[in-house]
Structure 1
Amino acid sequence: MAYSLIPNLRTALACVVVVCFSKVCGTSRQNVSLAVLLPDDNKRLFSLSRVTSAIELATESVIKEGMLTTVRLNPLYDDSNCSIADAMNAAIDFYVNKKVVVYIGPSCDYAAAPVARQVKYWNLPMITAGAFAGDFGDNKGYEFPMLTRIGSSFNALARFFMVVLKHFSWTKANLVYSYTGHGAIMDKFCHVLNNAIHHAFRIHHDVGNFTEVHQKFHRLSDILPSLAHHLGNELADSLYIMQA
């Protein structure tokens, strides 16, 4: 997956041109550093060991293709630990020491949010393949104006479900998920995903009016009997979205 993002990352790095020429670059070739804030944990989808090669290939490609002719891009790495505190601390350290002109990452949503909010006050761009949550897209203009997401997002996935519902004229949907599901990608991945879908249900009135019914299962064994009843009787003509 990391290598599939190279074209997007390479293009996004073009934003360095604007920042570079306004902040550090003159007529001679300059070293421009990029702050890469990703988790140093191979259990995570976007870990440093998985993504480092892709970042280096992308930065080399930018130079070779002549997109930046007066700079050398120098990635500097730090462990975000997928943590609000650790990611913000590393971002501040890079900023205070005036080491970088662009941030790559964090990727985990809860680590990315405070950094993405802060960089607008530093006037520095942030590029990430993560930051999946719908809020990053819905509130980009005010909260996250310096953020560029180059990967998939929950906004796009939610819009897909809205198209499916509208196409089949469905007005019922059941979201079944584990609150901590897919934690290797980021904490509370399934919860954040379902928040985006739920928000889309509420704002897209063209797909019909939705009634919300919440039900919490404490044991897996409780889910199957409930599904059998709902699928067979109440929701036979509905969309089921299931995550584990």
Structure 2
Amino acid sequence: MAGWNQGAALPLVLMVLLVLLDLQRVAGRSPHETQKNITLAVIMPQNNTNYPWAWPRVGPALERAVRTVNADASLLPDHVLIYHFNSSEDKGGVCSESLAALMAVDLKLTYDPWAFIGPGCSYASSPVGLFTTHWDVPMVTAGASAVAFDGGVYPSITNTGPTHKKLGKFALRICEHFGWREHVMLIFSDKKDDDRPCYFAVEGLHAELESINITLEERVFAENKPVNYSQIILNIQNDGRGESPST
């Protein structure tokens, strides 16, 4: 995950600017009004940098974007951009979907924001995305990468990060290029007590391969337990030959 430290900054700056481009049209309607606040509500894990879109990784980019926008009076005439942050992280350091939903309601009732930035996790993005859709408030995030977010249930979400559906399409193109049209083995770790990044990544590939009737076999393991990788490789070989996996 360390590689996301620098890569996360640019997408978040773009998130804010995408929102601002829309807000600018509204702000331009009243050039002679007293200066007003345009409030962004930010929800992310506060400390756990195992999440690519945690606050320590992307918070500095957000703060810089706010300073840059406010320093240029032509971007939001007679308005000041501000933000309020709430953490989606529970006491165990997990990005909690229930806590994120509560934080979203608190931010909405307290500040009535123009837009939400985050949450930065798939599970947390789901309930918050439903709320923002109901409130008709934009939600900009790079953390809604799961296939389910592509189904039209979350029209308020603008996803600025990589999505697993696109990853699935990329892998499908590779299979077509090499003529792999019959059988694919999917191997992934799934702890089920975090944001399940491997599961959701494989889900996009699974959905795309299944759509063209490729036969799929799955092997799931947990990285926090002893793993016999030699046995996994042997099972892949046996499945590829149509043999029963060894026990």
Shorter-chain TM band: 0.7 to 0.9
Q: Does residue 35 in structure 1 map to residue 41 in structure 2?
A: yes
**TM, length-normalised to structure 2:** 0.79
Q: How far is 1:224 from its partner? A: 1.5
CA contact (8 A) 1:29 1:72 kept: yes
Secondary structure of 1:55's partner? Answer: helix
Q: Which segments of 5 or more consecutive residues in structure 2 lack a partner in the other structure?
A: 1-6, 90-94, 242-247
Of 67, 74, 86, 1:78 maps to 86
Q: What do the CA deviations read for 1:20-41 (whole angstroms, capped 9, x no partner)?
A: 679x997332111110001112
Contact 1:38 1:79 in 2 (8 A): yes
1:26 and 1:190, CA in 2 relative to 1: closer, same or farther beyond 3 A?
A: farther
Are 1:10 and 1:62, in contact at CA under 8 Å, matched by a contact in 2? no
Match of 2:184 in 1: 173
Please state if 1:199 is matched with 2:174.
no
**Is this contact kept in 1: 2:166–2:204, CA < 8 A?**
no
RMSD: 2.7
Match of 2:62 among 49, 55, 68: 55
Amino acid at match of 2:240: L
Match of 2:244 in 1: none
| Residues 65, 149 of structure 1: alpha-carbon distance in 2 compared, 3 angstrom cutoff | farther
In structure 2, C-alpha distance between the alignment counterparts of 1:158 and 1:65, rounded to whole Å? 43
Aligned length: 224
Alignment match, 2:22: 15
Q: Which moved more, 1:162-171 or 1:95-104?
A: 95-104
Q: Distance in 1 between matches of 2:88 and 2:32?
A: 32
Q: Cα distance, 1:222 vs. partner?
A: 3.9
Distance (whole Å) between structure 2 residues aligned to residue 128 and residue 26 of structure 1: 33
Structure 1 SS opposite 2:48: coil
- Give the fraction of aligned pairs with identical amino acids, expressed as a percent: 25
Q: Is the 8 A contact 1:126 1:146 kept in 2?
A: yes
Which of 194, 207, 214 is residue 210 of structure 1 equivalent to? 214
Alignment of 1:1-244 (within 5 A): 1-13=7-19, 14-17=21-24, 27-43=33-49, 44-63=51-70, 64=72, 66-81=74-89, 82-137=95-150, 139-140=151-152, 143-171=153-181, 172-180=183-191, 187-203=195-211, 205=212, 209-216=213-220, 220-228=226-234, 230-231=236-237, 235=240
Kindly provide the CA deviation profile for residues 62-115 of structure 1, in whole angstroms up to 9, marking residues without a partner as x: 342833223211011110111111100010111122431110000110011011
Q: Which moved more, 1:171-180 or 1:11-20?
A: 11-20
- Which 10-residue stretch deviates more, 212-221 or 36-45? 212-221
> Is the Cα contact below 8 Å between 1:36 and 1:105 reproduced in 2?
yes
* Post-superposition CA distance 1:192-217 (Å, at most 9, x none): 111121111122x2xxx222334455
Deviation per CA, 1:201-244: give whole Å up to 9, x if none: 122x2xxx22233445577554413413534x6538xxxxxxxx
Unaligned runs of 5+ in 1: 237-244
